[in-house]
Amino acid sequence: PSKPPISLYPRHEQTQSPLFGKLFAAELRIFIYEAVLGDLIRPMHIVPHDNGYFEGIDILYTANHFSLEGARGMLEMRSVVPTPQWHMIRHVHVSTLFLTPRPSWLRSGFPPENYNKWSDGCKALQELRGLRSIRFEFIGREDGPAEADVESLVSVLEPLKDIKAPSFEVEMNFPIPDPVQAILGDTNFTLRFQQRPCRKPHARF
């Protein structure tokens, strides 16, 4: 089904509220918006709906940390956020679960990550002009040597190289083999190995 259009006009001017009165400085309203709408500690999960716009809408994008799940999360969020607000996003975290070898990704609905959509999702994040920090968290499968499939790992990591952010971290639950690093060459992100229990392929994502 097609998504409902997002209105670019306010539903109500709210002129009856003292907050929007002439005696209340706009600078004070901005401080209030940041205190109420912004939180860099708790990630903001987006549930899209047509809800109109108001004076503090930009604060939602500049003062929050957005948590997305894989390619689907990246593409769905891009599809509902207008371009001006998309460029205002400052902080993003992306988590995903994938299988190797690469043909495993091509099966519909299993695992949660969609290999065919991964590059498209990364391209959406390449458009973020105001991005200040981004972190990817990759979980490899448990029932096979994920680190052994060089082609799959390069396919996962290569699209990240065109995403620009002053703070860019990629965390994986297994060491990246030397052949993969040699193919990638210089990268604009920091690769970190964080050992943790792998999720089984049938686990809920």
pLDDT of 136: 95
Q: Where are the alpha helices (DSSP H) in 81-114?
A: 83-86
Q: In sequence order, what are the residues at sequence separation of 6 or more whose Cβ sits closer than 8 angstroms to the Cβ of residue 19?
A: 29, 32
In a domain, 5, yes or no: no
CA–CA–CA angle 130, 133, 136 (5° rounding): 125
pLDDT per position as a tens digit, 157-201 = 999 999 999 999 999 888 888 898 999 999 999 988 887 655 444
Tell me the sheet residues that pair with 44.
Answer: 66
Range of the domain at 161: 41-193
Lowest mean pLDDT among 24-33, 66-75, 97-106: 97-106
Please tell me which of 70-84, 96-110, 186-200 the model is most confident about, judged by mean pLDDT. 70-84
Give the number of domains in the chain.
Answer: 1
In a domain, 12, yes or no: no
Q: What is the pTM of this model?
A: 0.66
In a domain, 2, yes or no: no
Return the residue matching tokens 């991005």.
131
Measured torsion, CA atoms of residues 165, 166, 171, 177, in degrees rounded to the nearest 10: 90
In a domain, 143, yes or no: yes
Backbone angles phi, psi at 194, to 5 degrees: -125, 105
Bigger pLDDT: 111 or 57?
Answer: 57
Cite the beta strand spans of 91-152 per DSSP E. 91-98, 133-140
pLDDT over 50 at 74, yes or no: yes
Distance CA 98, CA 113 (A): 6
In a domain, 186, yes or no: yes
Q: What percentage of the chain has pLDDT greater than the value 90? A: 29
In a domain, 4, yes or no: no
Q: What percentage of the chain has pLDDT greater than the value 70? A: 65
Bigger pLDDT: 10 or 33?
Answer: 33
In a domain, 132, yes or no: yes
Q: Tell which residue, 205, 202, 179, has the closest CA to residue 104.
A: 202
In a domain, 141, yes or no: yes
pLDDT per position as a tens digit, 19-62 = 777 777 777 777 776 776 666 666 655 544 444 445 567 778 88
Return the residue matching tokens 């969609």.
114
